[in-house]
Structure 1
Amino acid sequence: MNGLKKLVAAGAAMVLGVTCLSACGGGGETAQEENPTSIKIWHYEEDNSAQGKAWARAMEIFEEQTGVKVEFEKKSFEQIRQNASQILNSDEAPDVMEYNKGNATAGLLASQGLLSNLNDYVDQYGWDEKITGSLADTGKYNELGVMGSGDWYGITNYGEDIVMFYNQDMFDQYGIAIPTTMDELEDAMQQFVDAGVTPLSEGVAEYPLQHLWWQLVLQKADEDFINAYEMYDGDVDWHGEATTYATETIKDWVDKGYISKDCTGLKAEDAGQGFMNGTYPMFFSGTWWFGRFQSDIPDVNWTFSLFPETDKVVGSSGNLWVIPENSAKKDLAAQFIDITLSDEVQNLMGNSGGVPIAADPEQITDEKSKELITSFNDVLANNALGFYPDWPTSTFYDELNASLQELVNGTSDMDTVLTQMEDNYNKGVESAGVKQ
């Protein structure tokens, strides 16, 4: 991060509670409760997802091992994303919770002193022997909240990337081949449009379309662009080849009917359901859907692949387990996190359609799950993870969605959309004090 400079006095006020960052795991400044009888855990995974199944088992194991009752509360993705700072700065904070990785989320909370430093627990449990390379980047943050270096504030136990899901039955019904190149992808989408079918299930109110936009950016982006965008190491050319190509392609696909103009108000769940119920033959989204597709549409013949013709793919480690600084049960929280990395829980995740980072390959009996894990391992081996587009600032997730909504519904042209993205990005980075 050669372009990252030290925080000056004007930006120092942003890093509230930074002195708390030196607190070691297992202690901190919060008094630890003696002989606790319960622990509060929050996450936002669906019960029938791979993570949901695996973590439910982890809670059972935790209760068996400790005799401490788990008070589990399922929250929504949006509940935690929008309210985390306020919640963690109150007495309502859980003892351990799932949280989004990246500078604008876990990094921001770490820089504000709201998350516990986990360095001692990493040493105690040897988590850094399982979480290595690019998987570790999203768990470590420096004093400015920038990922990739510094101290541990979050622990992942799975990986994820964004893939193209295909309804093989619909492709067969219309006599269309599963594409392997960009030309074949666009040809397949055109054939569906000609048959009166909108090919891509999309939702612009939440993350699906911004992930597609970022994947198109990654087709043209080099390492310098990614480092500038994600790590603030250099300037981002918002009207250069990568962003222009991605934005033009989205507009072109909307104009051709590959993406419905009516998707601007749809959320991720709406888009996923549109694929599962057979309305759309394609869905570009995360491997976190894999387990649900296996359990929810067992009679549908579906397949998946990485996006064609790209060296980088959207994805990273999975979300993080974090321990709020206000927790009085940090040791128990760390024990629970360690159980999620155990062989039993990791293997269960793998056989449920997830992408565990520490499973025994010989214990993964489901062939489709093996295919998924092999695909992700290849991505790791090729250093192909390209992270996510909303990470650089705390407000960019909503701002990207708003810009893409204007692009899809035609209220703003491409140049206006790119300028709006650029302005929002620069304002967010400047206000965070992470770059000068």
Structure 2
Amino acid sequence: MRSRLPALALALLLVTSGPVLSGCAISSIAASTPGSTVLTFWQYYDGTQKEWLEAEVQRFEERNPGVEIELVQVVGSQQDQKLLASVATGSTPDLFTNNIVVDFPTLVAGGVMRDLTPHWESFPDADRFPDHATWEDEGRIYNLMSYTNLVGLYYNQDILDEYGLAPPTTLDELQAAMETVEAGGKYGGVALSGAADVEGAWLFAPQLLGLGVGYCNLAESAQQVTEAFRRIAAWRETDSLPRAAATWDQNASWQQFMTGRYAFALNGNWQLGNVKEAGFRYGTAQFPAPTGGRSQVFPGGEGFAIGSKSQHPDLAWKFLEQLMSPESGLAVYEAAGSIPLHEQAAAAPEIQQDPLVAPFVAATRDAAPWPNNPNTAAMQKALGTAVSSVISGEQSPEDGARDAIESVAEAREQGGGGCA
């Protein structure tokens, strides 16, 4: 089960790029009109992403009289269980969103997703998407992505100017810049999520990905893994990275950056709207590259699928075609800051000419593929736990690296052993 990505481009989360999950039970937010054809769409969006989807539904219904899409709010953590149960009762939703890395393997194995291969092969714009827009199992396509979310570097231009620094392009340059800032005694170095979960793993992984090291070959790359752990330990020891970051999620670390007390933040493109509220000048860049490697990050975001028991698969596909259109891609960018994958949308002047967005768009061209293992979420959790323990000082970088390698390998084996 994998996204089709270039072989050399090697591991979200979710990770996560993920949306804020609603705490309510499954509930409909729209009532159907008698005599209409109703498509059910299970989703767990909140905020701007939800507003975007609601606008897409309205546009579709206006263009297709007699067809209604009923958006059903689902608690994200409960969705897999409910989808699997819906297969047994023959009542899968017509459409649903899913966390590509966490949900996809389980849902495919449970027969929840309809095979989209025939639709995609006849889709006129199929060749205008990168390979990682489609997610496959045994050569069949079951999931589509119209946009992606990636991590990169934000910087406080006022602090950089004060110390005569340029935005770093490598991890070595980032470390040198943070040491300069710390020596001044006025500001911190970097705000990032070091939480003991997939978020901490997602922010740590790019230190290895650009070297060709990922979840599939940690054991064979023990020296590089240990060096990456030593790097974050050095950041913590010099106070460039506070110990408190061991518990920060992406939102908490972003709030720290927005105080103006940190020179840098490692976070995602979904913060592009929020950074406009900063009380200082700012900029963005791609995630700093490791020495001897290139900048490379994992792609995040949600996938779209059709339920295997849908009674209206052709109509459901028609709505997916709309979500994969350039118009919809630009709409999700404008609403939520997500990067559209359709090449026409990605080439739009409002995206290409925005210097804040450009680094994230560039990152989509060489995104790393996720491991081909149904236990990928556990592999990420294992890495994130080790990262958090080193940032907090509970473990040495050597012990953290060893635990990460061993725990990821164990999770991989529990998932059947597959990876690349």
> Normalising by structure 1, what TM-score?
0.74
CA distance 1:305–1:186, change in 2 (3 Å):
same
1:16-57 alpha-carbon deviations (Å, 9 max, x no partner): xxxxxxxxxxxxxxxxxx95335234143641xxx5554343
Output one character per residue of 1:54-89: Cα deviation in whole Å (capped at 9) or x when no partner.
4343222122123444433566xxx52x43421211
Which residue does the alignment assign to 1:23?
Answer: none
Q: Which segments of structure 1 move beyond 6 Å, counting only runs of 4 or more?
A: none
- 2:204 paired residue number: 213
Alignment of structure 1 residues 82-231 onto 2, 5 Å: 82-91=77-86, 94-102=93-101, 105-126=103-124, 128-133=126-131, 135-136=132-133, 139-142=135-138, 150-173=139-162, 176-194=165-183, 195-205=185-195, 206-219=197-210, 221-222=211-212, 225-226=213-214, 229-230=215-216
Distance 1:100 1:367, change over 3 A: closer
Q: Deviations over 1:255-281 (max 9, x none)?
A: 111111112222222122222343433
SS of corresponding position for 2:331: helix
Matching residue of 2:410: 427
AA aligned to 2:209 is L
Equivalent AA in structure 1 for residue 297 of structure 2 = V
Q: Specify the alignment match of 1:354 in structure 2.
A: 338
Shift of 1:188: 1.9
Note the alpha carbon deviations across 1:394-420, whole angstroms, 9 max, x for none.
422332222222112222222332232
Are 1:311 and 2:311 counterparts? no
Cα pair 2:340 2:346 within 8 Å, conserved: no
Confirm or deny: 8 A CA contact 1:162 1:313 kept in the other structure.
no
State how far apart, in whole Å, the 2-side matches of 1:113 and 1:302 are. 46
Secondary structure of 1:314 counterpart:
coil
After superposition, the C-alpha distances for 1:183-235 in whole angstroms (9 at most, x for unaligned) are 4322221233232422211223354432332111124x23xx45xx34xxxx5
Does the residue aligned with 1:99 lie in a helix, a strand or coil?
strand
| Alpha-carbon separation, structure 1, partners of 2:252 and 2:159 | 19
SS of residue in 2 equivalent to 1:307: coil
Report the Cα distance in structure 1 between the residues aligned to 2:221 and 2:370, rounded to whole angstroms.
19
Structure 1 counterpart of 2:189, one-letter code:
P
For residue 10 of structure 1, what is the aligned residue in structure 2? none
Q: 1:73 to 1:90 in 2, by over 3 A?
A: same
Q: For 2:170 and 2:302, how far apart are their aligned partners in 1?
A: 30
Contact 2:236 2:242 in 1 (8 A): yes
Consecutive unaligned residues of structure 2, counting only runs of 5 or more, are: 2-34
Please show how residues 1-400 of structure 1 align to structure 2 within 5 Å.
Answer: 36-44=37-45, 46-47=47-48, 54-66=52-64, 67-73=66-72, 79-80=75-76, 82-91=77-86, 94-102=93-101, 105-126=103-124, 128-133=126-131, 135-136=132-133, 139-142=135-138, 150-173=139-162, 176-194=165-183, 195-205=185-195, 206-219=197-210, 221-222=211-212, 225-226=213-214, 229-230=215-216, 236-237=218-219, 240-294=222-276, 297=277, 300-309=280-289, 310-316=293-299, 318-351=301-334, 353-358=337-342, 360=344, 364-366=348-350, 370-371=354-355, 374-376=358-360, 378-379=362-363, 384-387=366-369, 393-400=376-383
Cα RMSD for the two superposed structures: 3.3
Residue in structure 2 matched with residue 403 of structure 1 by the alignment: 386
Flag the 1:216–1:285 CA change in 2: closer, same or farther, 3 A: same
Higher strand share: 2
Q: Which runs of 5+ in 1 are unaligned?
A: 2-33, 143-149
| Matching residue of 1:20 | none
Q: Which residue of 1 aligns with 2:19?
A: none
How many residues align? The count is: 374
Partner of 1:13: none
Structure 1 residues 279 and 390: CA distance shift in structure 2, 3 A: farther
CA distance in 2, matches of 1:283, 1:301: 14
CA 199–374 in structure 1, closer or farther in 2 if over 3 Å, else same: closer
